[in-house]
A and B are shown apart, each in its own frame.
Chain A
Amino acid sequence: MNRPLHDFPGGLRLPGHKHISTSQAILRAVLPKRLYLPLHQHIGEPSETLVAPGDHVLKGQMIAKATDYVGAPVHASSSGTVVDVTLLPVPHASGLDAPTIVIETDGEDRWVDRTPITDYAQLDLSDLRNRIRCAGLVGLGGAAFPSFIKMNPGPHHRVRTLVLNGAECEPYITCDDMLMREQPQAILRGAQIMMHALQADECLVGIEDDKPQAIAAMSAAAAAFGAIEVVPVPTRYPAGGERQLIQVLTGKEVPSDGLPPDIGVVCQNVATAAALQRAIDAGEPLISRVVTVSGGGVRTPRNLEVLIGTPMHELIEQCGGYHNAAQRLVMGGPMMGFSLESDSVPVIKATNCVLSLAADELDVGHATLPCIRCGRCAEVCPASLLPQQLYWHAQAKEFDTVQSYNLFDCIECGLCSYVCPSHIPLVQYYRFAKTEIWAQERNKRKADIARQRTEFRAFRLARDKQERAARHAAKRAALKDAGAGGTRQAAIEAARERAEQKRMEQTAELNAARDAKIAEVKHAIAAQTERQEAAPTSKTVDAVTSSSNRETPDNQ
């Protein structure tokens, strides 16, 4: 326990509001009449449905398969009949509808055949990863990144340290806390399997020190596992940010344009570890998770074990219903979560918290004043950015300058907005600037391709013209030769031969040039499509890394 801890810049101790949902043990939520399972619950491409209305499905049966490397299958959370596959509201910041499989449950909750793995160590590492993939496992901390990819750092990376994230730094959320108190064995067993998959030497479990019971339970259980160490970390938001927790535990910074494996670290959430243990030891795919239902707008806040696909209003009902003061429904925490327009949307894999905030908890009614340059935003920024400068240049739409202030290193933790005495919605400005820059880059790629096409068209027209001119010249020459007298027939023959020869030479040349040009354009189009396909998946990781490289001269 005497591991030297490191510090991350900025951060702030926030009012936790954690105790309101930790007085009762995790309760298994009631089986809902209908389950709503969106095809897209993870970072990456949407999955493809394997069922049609009328099909009977069993609990744990795969009902949608991944279509891409970055993707995850979806499983039926309970047995029943598929009644619809259609566009329905889903919990997403965009507020748009998305394809969803609707299952009417039969109440039997009958499992599909499960195949537990008795000795994972005997399994080939790629088979192990495949099991994790087929179980539909994604990061349960909120980002929902497919877990098997993190288990595969590639041949160029030697991962020494597995960091297990039990920090849970967002106010109100306690699902990881309760899980660590109640199921430390499952979490640590999952961590052990992860360590094996990564061939890691050690595992550090970072838990914020405002969770003494979780720390005690995990430490007690960890004694039986070698090389796993539970490390209490100071409670300071956002200590649970992946990059911040890695910095606190190892003192190392993940390069701005890189990922944790670049410094020999992989970070996973504690709930993901528990789900992984279930997937391997019990053969159960990811069909349920612990969800915190909290906030001043809920009568009896608590944690529920919820089947993925359960409508959120059912959880609220099981927690005593809304308080009169309930004003805003948020999925996730108050700092980084997004507000929902309706409580009929389902719990998805990324739903760690359903928060109903009361009027007096919300940041409402503050008029936005001009920035007074107080610099509090810079003091609390965990990425050591200058939020005020970013705001200034984002507002002026000076996107080059914004990037030179490292906009894409912003993790949108929300602290700058939280402390701003002028109540400027700073994070919104950064999101706006990021979206604009992505759009500009897409447009630029489109324009590049259009330009290449126009250039090729001009080239083709010029070539045709040249060919025509050549043909005419040959004809004229032949006629002229003939007119000069002598052996007319022979002259024509000779001229035709010369012209033919010349044409063949020219066409061969032009064909070669054209083929090269076509290949070039095709390549550009292919590259563009690839990038476009990659774009939505890489919202958090790839886009950040690709864009942050582009340093531009400072305009200041």
Chain B
Amino acid sequence: MFAPETASPHVAQNAGVSRLMLDTLYALIPGIVIYVVYFGWGVVINIVLAITAALTAEAVMLRLRKRPLRPFLLDGSAILTAVLLALALPPLSPWWIPVLGCLLAIVLVKQLYGGLGYNPFNPAMAGYAILLISFPIEMTRWTAPNTLIEQGLGLFESLQFSLYARLPDVVTLDALTAATALDSLKTQVGLGEPVAAVRATSPIFGAAAGTGMELVSLAFLGGGLWLLYRRVIAWHIPAAMLVSLAVMAAIFWGWSPDRYASPLFHVAGGAAILGAFFIATDPVTTSTTVRGRLLFGAGCGLLTYVIRTWGGYPDGVAFAVLLMNMAVPVIDHYTRPRTYGHDTGRGS
């Protein structure tokens, strides 16, 4: 009369994988909205193209690997990868940039390693890194915030640019793009100008970091805190990453404020907030122990600072996360917690 033998526990929490992924996607929405407001429709086009490419790649690979489609397409992980990758791209990109990036992320970085749960590298960041190395021109052509250009592109014009690389007659590409705050700061300081002077002269700098971008970061921070509140992510990685980034920045800024930007600039600028709350916290590719996560986060923050300050790329979050992904097995091995009743200091 009863169901056959079933083992304890008989109850479970409702939160499933798809719930976690969906919550993370919801938490991105405020940041995306502000991103679109400041940087135009290109963001939306990138996201749509990326999701389409990611789901297609996922479905084809699952079919080739003879895995069920439904549970894995519905788990939301491919969509999240696509959105995170799209958010890392310059808003005005040719269509093949998000598409190629997602194909690389899903096929090469995720499915060839065994799909959900088995990939050692963060798919979105690995896809981004490959794009950045392969197509440096397209990948560093950043859109200027709407407040700084005379006339932004509408949805239709953005779509035309994405698909056919065509701009309205009166608009030139140079008029639409500008170096990012992180990038121009690095270039100008490299030429010997003090940080304060650089930040005062260019309108690309806002109150804390890049104009527009700092507000996007603020919105992502809100979403990240909501994820913490919902216990979708734990505090260890975001806190460790932001603290280590800020501490690194504070040390050098304190030593020479003319040559190094402030901690606030580093935390609010670029992809630091997005990376700390949404990218470095990807469960699959981070350490599994609590102490390991603190180390992982701290390593991400430190490497981000190092790459931003002395590396050849404008932002360092993607490479920092990928480098720390590599260190995860070692971190896991050396951060095993002490089991209850072991090494209590008394023999028996």
Contact = CB atoms under 8 A, between A and B. Distances in A.
Given A255-B346, A373-B284, A414 B9 contact: yes
B157 interface: no
30 contacts: A253-B341, A254-B341, A258-B348, A262-B348, A328-B10, A335-B8, A337-B8, A337-B10, A338-B7, A339-B8, A341-B2, A362-B10, A363-B10, A369-B75, A369-B116, A372-B117, A373-B117, A373-B283, A373-B288, A374-B283, A382-B340, A406-B342, A409-B340, A418-B13, A419-B12, A421-B17, A422-B16, A423-B12, A427-B8, A427-B9
A357 interface: yes
B9 to A, nearest CB: 3
Contacts of A405: 336
A385 interface: yes
A328 B2 CA distance: 6
A421 B19 contact: yes
Interface string B292-331: 0100000000000000000000000000000000000100
- Judged by DSSP, the binding face of B is loop
A425 B234 CA distance: 23
Contact of B11 (A247, A335, A383, A384): A335
Residue from the set B4, B72, B342 with the largest chain A CB neighbour count within 10 Å: B342
B24 to A, nearest CB: 12
Contacts of B72: 369
Contact of A243 (B6, B77, B117, B341): B341
Contact of B293 (A340, A375, A554): A375
Interface of B: 1-13, 15-17, 19-20, 71-72, 75, 77, 114-118, 234, 283-290, 293, 329, 332-333, 336-342, 344, 346-348
Contacts of A171: 11
B9 A417 contact: yes
B341 A256 contact: yes
Given A327-B3, A363-B9, A414-B9, A372 B290 contact: no
Nearest to B330: A556
Given A341-B5, A375-B288, A422-B17, A258 B115 contact: no
A221 to B, nearest CB: 33
B20 to A, nearest CB: 6
Nearest to A255: B348
Given A341-B4, A373-B288, A409-B339, A421 B16 contact: yes
A378 B8 contact: no
B340 A386 contact: no
Contacts of A343: 1-2
A378 B5 contact: no
Nearest to B328: A373
Given A379-B234, A556-B333, A339 B288 contact: no
A388 B288 contact: yes
A429 B186 CA distance: 53
B5 A95 contact: yes
Interface in A397-448: 405-406, 409, 412, 414-415, 417-423, 425, 427-428, 431
Interface of A: 8-9, 95, 171, 243, 247, 252-258, 262-263, 327-330, 332, 334-343, 357, 361-363, 366-367, 369-375, 378-379, 382-386, 388-389, 405-406, 409, 412, 414-415, 417-423, 425, 427-428, 431, 554, 556
Given A343-B1, A379-B234, A389-B288, A372 B341 contact: no
Contacts of A406: 339, 342
A336 B342 contact: no
Nearest to B337: A384
Contacts of B16: 366, 369, 421-423
Given A255-B341, A328-B6, A341-B5, 14 more contacts: A243-B341, A255-B348, A258-B341, A328-B10, A334-B11, A342-B2, A370-B116, A372-B117, A384-B337, A384-B340, A386-B289, A389-B332, A420-B12, A423-B12
- The 5 tightest CB contacts between A and B, nearest first, are A414-B9, A363-B12, A256-B341, A370-B117, A374-B283
A213 B72 CA distance: 49
Residue from the set A243, A357, A382, A384 with the largest chain B CB neighbour count within 10 Å: A384
A379 B234 CA distance: 10
A171 B287 CA distance: 32
A199 B20 CA distance: 53
Contacts of A337: 8, 10
B336 A386 contact: yes
Contacts of B15: 419, 421
B9 A334 contact: yes
A297 to B, nearest CB: 10
Contacts of B348: 255, 257-258, 262
A377 to B, nearest CB: 9
Residue from the set B4, B116, B290, B337 with the largest chain A CB neighbour count within 10 Å: B337
A339 B3 CA distance: 9
Contacts of A370: 114-118
A401 to B, nearest CB: 12
A329 B288 contact: no
Nearest to A413: B9
A385 to B, nearest CB: 6
A379 B290 contact: yes
Contacts of A339: 2-3, 5-8, 10
A374 B20 contact: yes
B10 A375 contact: no
A257 B4 CA distance: 35
A526 B205 CA distance: 84
A97 to B, nearest CB: 15
A414 B8 contact: yes
A243 B340 CA distance: 9
A369 B71 contact: yes
A378 B293 CA distance: 12
Contacts of B116: 369-370, 372
Contacts of A362: 10-11
